Structure 1
């Protein structure tokens, strides 16, 4: 596989699950990022993340003023949450909460770091879009695919599905709008993964987080201009909206 060469990466929701595994595996790349920003709502309570930061000087649980004008190569919008409610029990509050987490907050994060992504795009290779140049990865799900509706028989999760469908549209729009800026943007489905959020008392997901993140990083290394605004699985398969 092609090698990712990233000067700087920011991962949201990195205190546990897929976000924490992204931090671990990014540190193990042949060319690990010079600056790896790990963000979460409560850094002081993220013990595993704090251990990684203590062991690796390139991990920062800090504001992005540490970039020193280099720009941001890769933004991974990973933070997420889910409720298991059905059409009969879903609340307006839950719908608002998940739209805020998966759509509004992701848009705000993209807007906030857009100047740094643009700077990376301008100073990196100019011939093609790639994750090594400047990219936004939105963590989506085929649970939000209108045609596939992953796991419907296992649980409606109405607010989760609706917010992920909206995130897919946001990704499509970002891909179209930012391509001319040299910034790649895609949505990726990590699979049904064994995380605190993905595991219930009744069902055990088939995919380990280590396998999912390894697959996603491999996909990241292959993404190019033709993938901008697309929706892909952790294995690199094109998914339907």
Structure 2
């Protein structure tokens, strides 16, 4: 469904890296969404400046304060989003916010594990629950049959590092134990969501963006942010029922859980 219009989009962690580039590329589409909702922890801070600059030029971009680990913040953002959407539902929810601190088997502490799990797993769970009524509204309003990208979709930004089957190939390259464990849990959350929301017509997919030159990645990474998001956008705009409940790469290839 390349080129199909997505009417409303929400991206978490949208003030930098992949999240910021996703917002830029949604806005640059020849048929941009009716509304792009960009969320971050501190919209008024220094890191929110680029988003604020874009919002001054694009009336269809709204910035929301959202701390994904804080239920009150998430609920407040959902209420503001409903107002901005003006009666429309939410077609795309992209759970992009995440952290990846250095963490080995030797250095890991209970706090390390819980902090990362809270951001990378509990956060997407809370955000999805809060925005679920808007996703259901979009799905119910759609005339499309089955699940597809222009109806309603939940996208969880995951990684090949969360693939248990691929661990022997990737572990020594990047141990980051707390991050790996959290993304494996996010993959399970995605699979559970794909089962739980199937009857609502909401497509649920986990996406591996590749090894990207971001704050979470490395200067030695394979991909620029633009290259990764170019691929992600092609994947998102062509999502259909066969990608429901799978882990898919930025190039559209299915990875094993």
The alignment's TM-score, normalised by the length of structure 2, stands at: 0.90
Match of 1:221 in 2: 237
1:94: how far off?
1.1
Give the conservation status (yes or no) of the 8 Å contact 1:231–1:238: yes
1:89: how far off?
0.5
Counterparts of 1:85-234 in structure 2, within 5 Å, are 85-149=103-167, 151-199=170-218, 204-234=220-250
Say whether 1:35 aligns with 2:35.
Answer: yes
Give the conservation status (yes or no) of the 8 Å contact 1:14–1:40: yes
Say whether 1:73 aligns with 2:70.
Answer: no
1:131: how far off?
1.7
Structure 2: how far apart are the matches of 1:154 and 1:102?
Answer: 21
Unaligned runs of 5+ in 2: 65-79
Structure 2: how far apart are the matches of 1:51 and 1:57?
Answer: 11
**3-state SS of 1:38 partner:** strand
Match of 1:26 in 2: 26
Match of 1:48 in 2: 50
Structure 2: how far apart are the matches of 1:224 and 1:6?
Answer: 13
Structure 1: how far apart are the matches of 2:163 and 2:31?
Answer: 34
Match of 2:13 in 1: 13
Deviation readout 1:44-97 (Å, 9 max, x if unpaired): 121111111111111001420211111000000000101111101011111101
**3-state SS of 2:155 partner:** strand
Would you say how many aligned residue pairs link Structure 1 and Structure 2?
Answer: 238
Structure 1: how far apart are the matches of 2:124 and 2:174?
Answer: 25
**3-state SS of 1:154 partner:** coil
1:125: how far off?
2.2
1:6: how far off?
1.4
Deviation readout 1:81-125 (Å, 9 max, x if unpaired): 011111010111111011111111111111100000000001112
Give the conservation status (yes or no) of the 8 Å contact 1:176–1:228: no
**3-state SS of 1:222 partner:** coil
1:223: how far off?
1.2
Give the conservation status (yes or no) of the 8 Å contact 1:171–1:186: yes
**3-state SS of 2:40 partner:** coil
